[in-house]
């Protein structure tokens, strides 16, 4: 069905050439779940800078609610990305315009390559949620597609864009403390968060998603690489496994129960689905994570039904999950600097990363809210409390979408502070770390990249601009 010309935004003809400042950047959201909603906060609050003009979402209630919230015309609301892509192709053919300036790809991880490839070929600028893709071959295909299309490409490495991390980045890059020699970072996933996302949720199994270091921590590896740049990873080792969330760890008192609502020891279980989802709803809390387990408004009846029938009500010790619940990664960089990174499920803190950065003349210690800077030369320690601008990931979600919109408006990839080559390289480091863990070896990162490009047929020279 043709899309009428008068429904198309005037800025839809623009791509990487920049859009006039008095016209909002127009966006298509593919996937209106948690990530799509988070990025959509910016156009809702700053309509003069950007606006959502089309969406694709398979869940009917979620689709309806999102479309109404952003006043998306009914003719530009689609059930899935393929319908949207077909409509876009027809519009480009008949009207000579794309539906919008840019696409936000917020679908499940394993779908990223197919969606990015399709819309890059149509000339859309793209912001892709992390991870880039779930396989080496798909990551390399995305790099090639982005280079070929010559589009603005943003990656959901939101840690780079939070006020907290940007303040630390500024100090590192200023050189005021000398060379960064060692970095230690801990990602405390949170016991209930891990149970929700990586035992019961979409990222529970490597074959249907990817390994935990990729799905949870690719942006940790990315920002560590960013901080050590221009040095690059040279060698990596890694250790970790699935130790607790398996049937052998199930308490004997749970008996044969496979669901929390029927379990005799539910009240004594740290991972009780009733505690994680239902109890918060009874107190009026319908935000994440309960908002993600149903289609529509979370209420006691709907959530109870989901826990009785769906995966989020299953015993964490009866799940088919197979991803690591703890892992350590050790990196050596080309300049001799070193990094130690830990991902662990068993924490009260939830994603409040703990860092220690050791320089020739000082150190930085932080917890995602505040950080201290100690200068060995002056014997002075100062405390920094970066102002949070709101949004998820300490303001990182807002920072990323703001930078992406500006990059599209100006046609300038550098506004994002990264490019497709750097995005690919940090993902390759994650794949190399997982190879090291599985095979019990130290992986040469340079050789790993070379072999990956040769194996998956990349013809792109990674040193080209």
Note the pLDDT of residue 11. 36
pLDDT in tens, 395-410: 899 999 999 999 999 9
Q: Per residue, what are the HEC states of the chain? A: CCCCHHHCCHHHHCCCCCCCCCCCEEEEEECCCHHHHHHHHHHHHCCCCEEEEEEECCCHHHHHHHHHHCCCCHHHEECCHHHHHHHHHHHHHHCCCCCCCEEEECCCHHHHHHHHHHHHHCCCEEEECCCCCCCHHHHHHHHHHHHHHCCCEEECCHHHHCHHHHHHHHHHHHCCCCCEEEEEEEEECCHHHHHHHHHCCCCCCCCCCCCHHHHHHHHHHHHHHHHHCCCCEEEEEEEEECCCCCHHHCCHHHCCCCEHHHCCCHHHCCCCHHHHHHHHHHCCCCCCCHHHCCCCCCCHHHHHHHHHHCHHHECCCCCCCCCCCEEEEEEEECCCCEEEEEEECCCCCCCCCEEEEEECCEEEEECCCCEEEEECCCCEEEEECCCCCCCCHHHHHHHHHHHHHHHHHHCCHHHHCCCHHHHHHHHHHHHHHHHHHHHCCCEEHHHHHHHHHHHCCCCCCCCCC
- Name the phi and psi angles at 314, rounded to 5: -80, 150
Tell me the pLDDT band of 181, cut-offs 50, 70 and 90: very high
d(CA 88, CA 121): 11
Note the pLDDT of residue 19. 60
Note the pLDDT of residue 394. 81
**Mean pLDDT, to the nearest integer, of 21-45?**
93
Q: Does the bond joining 262 to the residue before it have cis omega, within 30 degrees of 0?
A: no
Note the pLDDT of residue 459. 52
Structural domains of the chain, with CATH: 25-151 (3.40.50.720), 160-245+322-456 (3.30.360.10), 258-309 (no CATH)
pLDDT in tens, 86-140: 999 999 999 999 999 999 999 999 999 999 999 999 999 999 999 999 999 999 9
Lowest mean pLDDT among 20-34, 36-50, 149-163, 371-385: 20-34
Q: Indicate whether 297 pLDDT > 90.
A: no
Angle between helices 81-94 and 112-121 (to 10 degrees): 10
**Mean pLDDT, to the nearest integer, of 206-227?**
96
Note the pLDDT of residue 463. 40
Q: Please provide the average confidence, as pLDDT, over all residues in the chain.
A: 92
| Cα angle for residues 414, 419, 420 (degrees, 5° grid) | 155
Q: Indicate whether 246 pLDDT > 80.
A: yes
Report the run of H or E that residue 281 belongs to, with start and end: helix 279-282
pLDDT in tens, 409-459: 999 999 999 999 999 999 999 999 999 999 999 999 999 999 999 998 655
| Cα angle for residues 305, 310, 313 (degrees, 5° grid) | 80
| Burial class of residue 2 (count of CB atoms within 10 Å of its CB; 0-12, 13-18, 19+) | exposed
CB 203 within 8 A of CB 102: no
pLDDT in tens, 340-363: 999 999 999 999 999 999 999 999
Question: What are the C-alpha distances in Å from 8 to residues 48, 78, 89, 93, 119?
Answer: 17, 16, 14, 14, 17
Q: Indicate whether 192 pLDDT > 60.
A: yes
Note the pLDDT of residue 5. 35
Note the pLDDT of residue 146. 97
| Cα angle for residues 16, 21, 25 (degrees, 5° grid) | 55
Note the pLDDT of residue 206. 96
Tell me the pLDDT band of 235, cut-offs 50, 70 and 90: very high
Note the pLDDT of residue 465. 34
**Per-residue tokens: 356:** 């220690």
Q: Indicate whether 462 pLDDT > 70.
A: no
**Mean pLDDT, to the nearest integer, of 13-39?**
79
């Amino acid at each position: 069905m043709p899309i009428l010309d008068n429904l198309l935004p005037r800025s839809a003809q623009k791509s990487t050439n920049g859009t006039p400042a008095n016209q909002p950047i127009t966006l298509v959201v593919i996937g209106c779940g948690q990530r799509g909603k988070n990025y959509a906060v910016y156009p809702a609050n700053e309509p003069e800078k950007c606006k959502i003009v089309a969406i694709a979402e398979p869940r009917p209630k979620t689709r309806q609610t999102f479309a109404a919230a952003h006043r998306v015309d009914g003719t530009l609301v689609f059930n899935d990305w393929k319908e949207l892509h077909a409509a876009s192709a027809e519009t480009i053919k008949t009207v000579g315009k794309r539906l919008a300036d840019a696409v936000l790809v917020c679908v499940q991880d394993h779908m990223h390559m197919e969606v990015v490839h399709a819309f890059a070929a149509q000339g859309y600028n793209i912001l892709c949620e992390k991870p880039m893709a779930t396989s080496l071959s798909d990551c390399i295909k995305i790099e090639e597609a982005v280079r070929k299309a010559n589009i603005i490409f943003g990656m959901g490495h939101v840690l780079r864009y939070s006020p907290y991390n940007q303040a630390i980045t500024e100090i590192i890059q200023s050189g005021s403390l000398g060379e960064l020699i060692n970095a230690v970072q801990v990602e405390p996933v949170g016991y209930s968060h891990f149970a929700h996302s990586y035992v019961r949720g979409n990222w529970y199994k490597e074959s249907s998603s990817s390994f935990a270091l990729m799905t949870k921590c690719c942006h940790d590896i990315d920002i560590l690489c960013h901080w050590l740049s221009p040095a690059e990873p040279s060698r990596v080792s890694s250790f970790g496994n699935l130790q607790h969330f398996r049937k052998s760890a199930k308490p004997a008192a749970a008996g044969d129960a496979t669901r929390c609502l029927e379990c005799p020891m539910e009240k004594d279980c740290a991972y009780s689905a009733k505690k994680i989802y239902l109890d918060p709803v009874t107190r009026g809390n319908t935000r994440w994570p309960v908002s993600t387990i149903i289609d529509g408004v979370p209420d006691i009846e709907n959530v109870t039904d989901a826990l009785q029938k769906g995966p989020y009500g299953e015993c964490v010790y009866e799940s088919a999950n197979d991803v690591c619940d703890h892992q350590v990664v050790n990196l050596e960089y080309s300049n001799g600097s070193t990094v130690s990174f830990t991902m662990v499920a068993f924490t009260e803190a939830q994603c409040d990363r703990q860092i220690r950065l050791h320089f020739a003349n000082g150190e930085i210690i932080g917890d995602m809210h505040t950080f201290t800077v100690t200068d060995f030369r002056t014997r002075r320690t100062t405390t920094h409390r970066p102002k949070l601008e709101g949004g998820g990931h300490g303001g990182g979600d807002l920072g990323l979408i703001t930078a992406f919109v500006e990059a599209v408006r100006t046609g300038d990839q550098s506004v994002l502070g990264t490019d497709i080559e750097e995005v690919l390289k940090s993902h390759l480091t994650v794949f190399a770390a997982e190879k090291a863990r599985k095979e019990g070896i130290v992986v040469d990162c340079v050789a790993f990249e070379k072999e990956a490009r040769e194996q998956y047929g990349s013809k792109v020279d990674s040193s080209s601009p």
